[in-house]
Amino acid sequence: MITKKDRQKAAEFIRKYSNADDFNFSINGSEDLLTRFAQNGITQHISGNKLNVNLRVTFDSKNGEASGNNLDEDSLKYLIKTAEGMAKLNQPDPEFVGSEPAHDLPEVDNYAQSTADLPVEKIVDDILTCVKNAEGKDAKLSGISEKHVQDTFLVTKNGFEGFDRSTSFSHSMTLKKEGVETKVSRSVKDHAKFSMLTMIEQLNSQFDSLNNPVQLAKGRIPVILRPAAVLNWLFYLIWTFDRRTADEGHTPFTDQIGKKFFGDKFTFRSRLDDPDLEASKFLNGGVPAENIDWIVNGILKNMSADRYYAKQINLKALRPYNIIVEGGDTTESEMMKMVDRGVIINNFWYIRPTDRKTGEWTGLTRDGVLYFEDGKIQKSVTNFRWNEILHDATKRILALGPSVQQEYYAKVPTLLIDDFNFVDVTTF
């Protein structure tokens, strides 16, 4: 990884040799180890460090930006020459906003030594344990283990300086035997808090609950969405969660700030102080991150904005830097008794917009679907396609489980949602 001395030296070089009216200079580096396996054998194994050095300069609101992957003086000179050359040939940007000044940044701890020290031998040992479990079931295992250490460094002409070092470890695996396939995945910032045995137990539990699926008719039916499905779904909601496009009339959120646009039971926040979750110290070119409520009890409180638009409407330029959906205390067994019948969804797949203005999305189920009736699981069923207006679906939340960590940046609950709109069925 790049040392503090090297970062400061590079920043000083830019300050000294750039003639631009304004600049943002960033260095993002990572140390990565990725072990990918399929059909009970390793198929891909990668190790290396990556570096991205980026300079964005401005002359009279004319911008130019160049990036490379070296920090030596010749490379920095080339970046300055390239970025400044582009800016001089460019046209003025009517939405230009000057770079951020110095800020006090929040204290956030995104680094865990246990993750940084994780050796390749330990990762392979753990994968071997997973593969032996699969072989014991006469099944095939595919997945990936990843370890990352990442640096983020930003300085601006106007005095901002920020640095963060973070770690993450993630593991996902799909177990497949004939018509049964299911997957578990999890990531943490601190490998010491990760248990492979717990993941194997979860995988086995899902796998053992499934058998060769039978087809169920399409139509509206209650669903129990497990956390992986909820998070997958929420990603796409956040994708369109932009204040400017809402105000310009392109999304369903137009004129909905401050209104109860979501269901009462739906609350979504980003928090700096959750000990398990990674959080950014700064966002959007140096804006200090802060705790923010996006949706509270169904009321749309805030939306993402870039620095230009935030300035126009006198808001802070923030975005969801981590995801915390408030949970409840209903267990999955209790949920199954709250409705006559329904399906349990492990995950979703290939979610895409079908109508950006109404907020309708399509997607499929994946990793195993279970049909329940009379409070009990009855059988495995084949996958469905759904077309749903996601914010409307939150109005049909009947119950929530406890919010649990799904990824190093997200805690979400299991949700029981009424009348989910399945429009087609698959053959598997």
Partner 1 sequence: MDFLSLAMDTAKSLGADYADIRIQKSSTEMIYLRNLSLKNTSLNEIYGYGIRVFKDGAWGFAHNNVFTEDAVNGTVKKAFAIAKESGRIKYGKGLVLAHERGYIDSYKTPYCLDPFDVPLSEKVELMMEVNKTMLNFAEIKLAVFMLECRKDEKLFASTLGSRLDIHTVYIDSTFTATAVANGDSQSRTFSHGGQARGWEWVQSLNLSDKAVQVAEEAILKVHADSLGAEERKTLLLDPNHMALTMHESVGHPTELDRVLGWEADFAGISFATPEKLGNYQYGAQIVNFVANNTLEGGLSTAGYDDDGVPNQKWYIIKDGILNEYGNTRATAPLIGLEMSRGCNRATNYFDFPINRIPNLYLQPGKEPLTPQELIADTEDGVYIEGRGSFSIDQHRVNFQFGGDMFWEIKNGKKVRPLKKVLYKSNNPEFWNSVDAICDDRFFKTFGVTNCGKGQPGQRGRMTHGGALARFRNIRVGGSQ
Name 59's Cβ contacts closer than 8 Å, sequence gap at least 6. 20, 21, 84, 87, 88
Which tokens in the block code for residue 398? 């009947």
Pairing of strands 161-177, 397-400: unpaired
Site for partner 1 in 229-248 (CB under 8 A): 248
Q: Which position among 21, 28, 59, 68 is part of the footprint of partner 1 (CB under 8 A)?
A: 68
Report if residue 45 touches partner 1, rule: CB under 8 A.
Answer: yes
Report if residue 198 touches partner 1, rule: CB under 8 A.
Answer: no
CB 60 within 8 A of CB 21: yes
Q: Which position among 215, 349, 378, 402 is part of the footprint of partner 1 (CB under 8 A)?
A: 349
Q: Which position among 238, 257, 389, 404 is part of the footprint of partner 1 (CB under 8 A)?
A: 389
Residue 416 vs residues 54, 207, 218, 333, 388: alpha-carbon distances, Å: 45, 21, 18, 11, 15
Q: Residue holding tokens 């398990």?
A: 276
Q: Where would I find the H helices in 223-297? A: 227-239, 243-247
Report if residue 143 touches partner 1, rule: CB under 8 A.
Answer: yes
Query: Least separation, in Å, of the C-beta of 401 and partner 1?
Result: 25
Site for partner 1 in 82-141 (CB under 8 A): 82-83, 86-87, 89-91, 93-95, 120-121, 124, 127-128, 131, 140
CB 86 within 8 A of CB 93: no
Report if residue 273 touches partner 1, rule: CB under 8 A.
Answer: no
Is the CB of 2 or the CB of 105 nearer to partner 1?
Answer: 2
| DSSP three-state, residue 79 | helix
Q: C-alpha angle with apex 163: 159 to 167, nearest 5 degrees?
A: 165
Q: What are phi and psi of 394, to 5 degrees?
A: -65, -20
Q: Counting runs of H as helices and runs of E as strands, what totals does the chain give?
A: 10, 21
Report if residue 343 touches partner 1, rule: CB under 8 A.
Answer: no
Binding-site size for partner 1 (CB under 8 A) equals 87
Q: What is the rounded CA–CA span in Å between residue 78 and residue 67?
A: 10
Site for partner 1 in 163-182 (CB under 8 A): 172-174, 176, 181
Report if residue 415 touches partner 1, rule: CB under 8 A.
Answer: no
Report if residue 421 touches partner 1, rule: CB under 8 A.
Answer: yes
Q: Which position among 69, 198, 211, 215 is part of the footprint of partner 1 (CB under 8 A)?
A: 69
Is the CB of 149 or the CB of 399 nearer to partner 1?
Answer: 149
Report if residue 204 touches partner 1, rule: CB under 8 A.
Answer: no
Neighbours of 286 (CB within 10 A): 25
Query: Least separation, in Å, of the C-beta of 104 and partner 1?
Result: 29
Report if residue 212 touches partner 1, rule: CB under 8 A.
Answer: no
Report if residue 387 touches partner 1, rule: CB under 8 A.
Answer: yes
- Residue range at the interface with partner 1 (CB under 8 A); choices 51-59, 161-169, 335-343, 372-380: 51-59
